[in-house]
Amino acid sequence: MNARSLKYVGIVHGAKAGSDGANMSQVIARRSPCRSGVRQSAAFRAFAVAVAVAGLLSACSAPSAPARAIDDLGADDQRMLSQIAPIAARDAAAEHTRFVDCWVPSDHAIDGEPSHFKVLCRVAFDEAGEQRQRDMICIGAFDDDPPLDYCYDWAYYTDMPSFDDSDAVRLDLSHKG
């Protein structure tokens, strides 16, 4: 890399929000004048493809076992989870469910509504010979029996919880359709 190409990198990394923010997109859009730009972009593309493939392969691997066992929970959590897991599996519209991992309801009371909880459940199932999973959000009340009627597809967005943010408990549903 020569000094001219470093100049552009320095401007991009040194850009500040505010009055300079308007010019930042123009600086980013400029092409580096260095002659090795073709090799750099090819190397960057190869690196990006390798990272994407590694991410896809890790997403396709079998889910790891949850951190907590259902036998270690209190009676109320055990009762609720034994009712929540089949509802999550049903609403995931997945045939051949193997198991459901769910957050513990007592660990996830809703702020301002201590009688209600919000948990994420990951439904693991087989489809066309492939192992798949679908995340569901389940919102219910501690005192209701069953604690909820429905679970819904959960799509992760920035600043929202993801399934891996909390410990989960596994409930085996492989014996059920």
pLDDT in tens, 104-156: 999 999 999 999 999 999 999 999 889 999 999 999 999 999 999 999 999 87
Phi, psi at residue 13, to the nearest 5°? -75, -25
Write the pLDDT tens digit of every residue in 143-163.
999 999 999 999 877 677 777
- Same-domain check for residues 101 and 159: yes
- Same-domain check for residues 24 and 97: no
Q: Which residues contact 126 (CB under 8 A, 6 or more apart)?
A: 96, 98, 132
Least-confidence region, from 49-53, 68-72, 78-82: 49-53
Task: Record the pTM.
Answer: 0.59
Within-domain flag for 142: yes
Domain that holds residue 137: 70-172
Mean pLDDT of the chain: 74
Dihedral, CA of residue 77, residue 78, residue 83 and residue 88, to nearest 10:
70
Amino acid at 49: V
Alpha-helix runs per DSSP H in the chain: 3-14, 21-29, 37-60, 75-91
- Same-domain check for residues 32 and 56: yes
Please report the pLDDT score of residue 163 as a whole number. 78
Cβ atoms 122, 64 nearer than 8 A: no
Please report the pLDDT score of residue 162 as a whole number. 74
- Same-domain check for residues 12 and 78: no
List the Cα angle 92/96/101 in 5-degree steps: 55
Higher confidence at residue 102 or residue 53?
Answer: 102
Task: Let me know how many helices (H) and strands (E) the chain has, helices first.
Answer: 4, 6
Within-domain flag for 110: yes
Please report the pLDDT score of residue 92 as a whole number. 95
- Same-domain check for residues 99 and 142: yes
- Same-domain check for residues 56 and 74: no
Among the listed residues 170, 110, 112, the one whose alpha carbon sits nearest the alpha carbon of residue 142: 110
Least-confidence region, from 10-19, 52-61, 111-120: 10-19
Number of folded domains that form the chain: 2
pLDDT for residue 70 is more than 80 = yes
- Same-domain check for residues 29 and 77: no
- Same-domain check for residues 91 and 141: yes
- Same-domain check for residues 139 and 53: no
Within-domain flag for 137: yes
- Give the pLDDT band (50/70/90) at residue 9: very low
Among the listed residues 31, 39, 38, the one whose alpha carbon sits nearest the alpha carbon of residue 9: 31
